[in-house]
Amino acid sequence: MKIDFHVHTNASVDSSIDVRDLLMKAKKVGIIPAITNHNKLVFPKRTFPYIPGEEIMTEDGEVIGLFLNEEIKSKLSLGETLDKIREQGALSVAPHPFSPLRHGIGMHSKGVDIIEVFNGRQHPDTDELAERFAKEWKKPIVGGSDAHFLFEFGRCYTEIPDMELEPKKILRALKKPKIHRYKTNFARLQAAKLAFKMKQVSRGQNPFYPASQTKQKIFKKRARK
Ligand SMILES: [Zn+2]
């Protein structure tokens, strides 16, 4: 079975993907998405299987929770966040752990269940660091597209034997997955980002990410004046 372990929808401020379109494409290409929005857990109607998740901003960087039942608050310490993920019987992933630009948790990845060793938007060098780290600490691994636009979903995915979507079984299979390593189309991504930001500006939304909810509100207030 094919799973993309890192996908956003428009429940994230920086993504334009309508979740219905995502599940339609998922069905077409036969890839199960883990829906991992920034600090938000969503449960769309299951027109195709998916893994409910959240990419949570902690005080120490970002961590993903997979198979969550309840949303986890952002800005807690990493330790507290990992406890909350564990309490739900869910799995933790270190996304882009060695990215200097994208809130990777670096060496703290020792404490998580799974290491993301391939990220569709990440520089290959930082992927390689993550891969070496995972090998050294004998951690299960995944690859994900980190898609924020629909065209990005479906290029990169992780393949494991067919099984039921159950955290413990999936974790075991991720000791030896086959990762299909295709980066996003960066030229197309830049164009999509620019078009998306222009749309945000025309709606009076703050196009600068990461932007807190408060910043978004201030921007809206200013735009109204
Ligand atoms: Zn992400």
Using 50, 70 and 90 to split pLDDT, how confident is the model at 215? low
For the chain, the structural domain boundaries read: 2-184, 188-224
What are 191's two structure tokens? 């164009």
Q: Could you tell me the distance, in angstroms and rounded to a whole number, from the CA of residue 162 to the centre of ligand 1?
A: 25
At 33-88, the pLDDT tens digits run 999 999 999 999 999 999 999 999 999 999 999 999 999 999 999 999 999 999 99
Q: Could you tell me the distance, in angstroms and rounded to a whole number, from the CA of residue 157 to the centre of ligand 1?
A: 14
Q: Could you tell me the distance, in angstroms and rounded to a whole number, from the CA of residue 7 to the centre of ligand 1?
A: 7
Q: Could you tell me the distance, in angstroms and rounded to a whole number, from the CA of residue 65 to the centre of ligand 1?
A: 12
Most confident of 31-45, 90-104, 198-212: 31-45
Q: Could you tell me the distance, in angstroms and rounded to a whole number, from the CA of residue 37 to the centre of ligand 1?
A: 7
Q: Which fold has domain 2-184?
A: TIM Barrel (3.20.20)
Q: What is the chain's mean pLDDT, rounded?
A: 91
Taking alpha carbons only, the member of 197, 215, 199, 217 closest to residue 207 is 197
- The pLDDT of residue 102: 81
Q: Could you tell me the distance, in angstroms and rounded to a whole number, from the CA of residue 8 to the centre of ligand 1?
A: 6
| Cα dihedral 15→21→74→63 (10° resolution) | -90
At 133-172, the pLDDT tens digits run 999 999 999 999 999 999 999 889 999 999 999 999 999 9
Phi, psi of 49 (to 5 degrees): -60, 150
